[in-house]
Amino acid sequence: MSSIQAQFPDFTTHHAPYDAIDPAGALKGSAAGKVVYISGASRGIGQATAVAFATAGARAVYLTARSEDALKDTRALIRAANPETDSAYSVCDVTDAGQVEASVADCVARFGSLDAADANAGVLGPWTKIGETDPAGWWQSWEVNLRGVYHVIRFTVPHLIESARRHAAQGGSGGHLILLSSVGAQLLMPGASDYQTSKHAINRLCEFVQTDHGEDGIKCFAIHPGGVATDLGLGMPEALHDYLDDEPELAAGFAVWLCSGAADWATGRYLSATWDVGEVCARRDGILRDDLLVNRLRAKP
């Protein structure tokens, strides 16, 4: 694992929520008045993120996933976390543009606005060498992980732009868009070509969102949620399961922190939820000066 860590900044890493990203502490009230849209919200990281935004005072959280029963479970957790946070859901397959468009329209019709979006839905197929893969299964990873994320971007961005302008006029921050990436985006691990290339593409897509819509007020981030023992994470080879030692609430709190406006200077970049946010912000000048945490070709030794 040391060769992996060498590719990243030497920030202090966390495996569980801590004070700076606590939605019930330092971030309490940071989501007040905001409507948050979350795909893949039926379990794991997406579910924890929904609860975190409710805890931070969100006015409403809109949930999508393919399992209605699991979405109902998430709504119940939201009510328990904050009875004042409204919620709604729709059963939605992110690979279907029409379904995503309809779910976003329903969110705005119900709650009147959309202030933050979290593209959390993803899939991890079996780890197989390229020459032995099932073509349909390989491409399905891209359908969910990249096309699904694109659909969320495409149909939320117009509403997020409105939010960004409204909040800016009020002296606040809105229009946040979080894309779930992975540390795998930066790695080359045998058998993971579909998953890791799709996540690498998400990082670049994040940069394009910022290039195209940064002037409109959009704040887009691609994040590694940590190594979480979700059903998806446990689909990795068993030898890697020891690295699934991060709590889903870590990524959830990190998402709330990003949408608070505290990291608006770092838009268009890859960030890890495990990195200490105080240390990340302390290196702001260097990150911006050297244009770090983005996908670039190294052409010099």
Q: What is the CATH number of the domain that holds 65?
A: 3.40.50.720
Query: Does the residue 15 lie in any domain?
Result: no
Query: Is 18 one of the catalytic residues?
Result: no
CA–CA dist 93, 47 (Å, integer): 16
Query: Does the residue 16 lie in any domain?
Result: no
Catalytic residue chosen out of the listed positions 37, 62, 89, 195: 195
Q: Which two tokens stand for residue 93?
A: 């397959």
CA–CA dist 17, 254 (Å, integer): 8
Query: Does the residue 190 lie in any domain?
Result: yes
Catalytic residue chosen out of the listed positions 34, 150, 199, 270: 199
Give the number of domains in the chain.
1
The DSSP 8-state label assigned to residue 22 in this structure reads -
Quick one: pLDDT at residue 294?
94
Q: What is the pLDDT along the chain (301 residues), one digit of tens a residue?
A: 444 444 678 899 999 999 999 999 999 999 999 999 999 999 999 999 999 999 999 999 999 999 999 999 999 999 999 999 999 999 999 999 999 999 999 999 999 999 999 999 888 888 899 999 999 999 999 999 999 999 999 999 999 999 999 999 999 999 999 999 998 888 888 999 999 999 999 999 999 999 999 999 999 999 999 877 566 656 666 666 666 678 999 999 999 999 999 999 999 999 999 999 999 999 999 999 999 999 988 787 7
Query: Does the residue 265 lie in any domain?
Result: yes
Query: Does the residue 211 lie in any domain?
Result: yes
- Give me Rg for the CA atoms of the chain: 18
Query: Does the residue 40 lie in any domain?
Result: yes
Quick one: pLDDT at residue 244?
67
- Other Cβ atoms less than 10 A from the Cβ of 177: the count is 27
Q: Collect all residues with Cβ–Cβ distance below 8 Å to 135 and sequence separation of at least 6.
A: none
The CA dihedral of 42, 44, 45, 46, to the nearest 10 degrees, is: 0
Quick one: pLDDT at residue 6?
46
Quick one: pLDDT at residue 241?
67
Query: Does the residue 12 lie in any domain?
Result: no
Query: What interhelical angle do 68-81 and 44-55 show, nearest 10?
Result: 30
Domain that holds residue 225: 29-277+284-289
Amino acid at 138: W
Query: Does the residue 173 lie in any domain?
Result: yes
Q: Where does 143-191 have alpha helices with state H? A: 148-169
- Other Cβ atoms less than 10 A from the Cβ of 207: the count is 19
Query: Is 219 one of the catalytic residues?
Result: no
